[in-house]
Amino acid sequence: MENIASNASTTKRMVVYHYKTKEALYMLVLEHVYRGIRQHELELDLSSLPPAEAIVKLVEASFDFHVSHPEFIRIVSTENMLRGRFIRQSTSIREINKTALTLLEDILERGKQSHLFKEDAQARDVHRLISSLCVHQVANQYTFGALFENPDEVDLQTAHYRQLAVQVALRYVMK
């Protein structure tokens, strides 16, 4: 609240007055961050690419989005700690996020028709796989890095994990 008030050059009291409750403001922020990642995916124009290239571009763009938007991970993590309390109340978040699966369904269908992708590859599973690798990179970077990585090679390691995410996704969907 303090950051929002400061960035808006106002007071916390005025922010609460405008949004009525902290919970209402939180819901708007939650909707905003999900809208941001889904819009980012839609702007990739994946339907114009061959299926395997579309998967590669989606994974790379998702990875890059997560790395460059750690606030997305923080808000999603917070909502998970709250056991999805607010996301379940939202009338629009589910609708906003439909494109995550419809985008993948289109890619997978084109890949199956071309006999490149496994028939049993499911959009929800691919989305979960991509999300898990992207989220892990951001959410666990400090603990994983402290335990297993050289602090002088952060950029190299990030590039490695980005490529690993692409390889894993392709191996999952390809015949």
Local confidence pLDDT in tens for the 175 residues of the chain: 777 778 778 887 777 777 788 888 889 899 999 999 999 999 999 999 999 999 999 999 999 999 999 999 999 999 999 999 999 999 899 999 999 999 999 999 999 999 999 999 999 999 999 999 999 999 999 999 899 998 889 899 999 999 999 999 999 999 9
Return the pLDDT at 55.
Answer: 98
Helix locations, 43-121, DSSP H: 51-68, 70-81, 93-113
- pTM as predicted: 0.90
Residue pLDDT, tens place only, 92-135: 999 999 999 999 999 999 999 999 999 999 999 999 999 999 99
Return the pLDDT at 93.
Answer: 94
What CA–CA distances, in Å, run from 48 to 34, 51, 57, 108, 149?
24, 9, 11, 14, 38
Return the pLDDT at 22.
Answer: 83
CB atoms within 10 A of CB 82: 12
Return the pLDDT at 25.
Answer: 86
